[in-house]
Amino acid sequence: MKTSRDVSARGLRARARAMLFLGVATLLIGAGCGAAPELDTRTFELQYLQPDEAADMVQPYVYHDRPDAPGMVTVFSAGITVRETADNLEKIARVLEEYDRPKPGVRLLFQLIQANGAGAADPRISDVEQALKELFRFEGYELVTETQLGAVVGSGSTQVFGHEGVQYAITAHIQNVRERAGAGAVELHVELMSDQIGRAMTTSMTVPVGQTVVLGSTQPDPERAALILTVRPELVTLSEAGS
């Protein structure tokens, strides 16, 4: 005949076994959740991006501080090697595919325009004449000279020319190109130097592709008329940009 003491003892032993089983299961589940992920290694050869630039670009997908399985990026002369999970490697591949492309070339057409009193309208600057009248109060404007230079994103170029015995140098640095379907814009920094006064003009501006924009004005010699500098950017191939 079972007593209440025997039933209680058996219940306690059953409860203890259940708690032991639950504890072991919990440990196993916890160990499985904290297990280090499996990492793969892939090498990405680059055509246009610099390896250091690419390494910085993929850093958000490389977990260097992951316990027991840190990610890693190694830079070499022609690309990068990445050790990461398979899904992160796929993300990195898509990023590099998007950005490892030729940098767009830019041709900049500069016009140096002189305020010439009440002279006749100059048809060579008809596309910017209205803007000149809105910005300045001179009676008339005349194209003095025009020149062009080419560069790619992240680089600069300089063009030297003369006018009425004064030597000028235009330096343009292409900071960024925003390309859109049927449109775009160029972020650039421009300096106009004169052998008479040094820096005659400096400005940074975003200019729509295919549009002529007034950059500013200068008067290196108070006895001469003011000079106004305009620019029109065009997107070109790399070979055209250097011409």
184-224 confidence digits (pLDDT tens):
899 999 999 988 778 889 999 999 999 999 998 887 777 77
**pLDDT on residue 200:** 86
As to burial, measured by CB atoms within 10 angstroms (0-12 exposed, 13-18 middle, 19+ buried), residue 42 is middle
Residue 97 has phi, psi (to 5 degrees) of: -65, -35
As to burial, measured by CB atoms within 10 angstroms (0-12 exposed, 13-18 middle, 19+ buried), residue 108 is buried
Within 10 angstroms of residue 10's Cβ, the number of other Cβ atoms is: 11
Q: Give the H/E segment covering residue 32.
A: helix 4-33
CA distance 212 to 127: 7
Residue 215 has phi, psi (to 5 degrees) of: -90, -35
5-23 confidence digits (pLDDT tens):
554 555 555 555 545 444 4
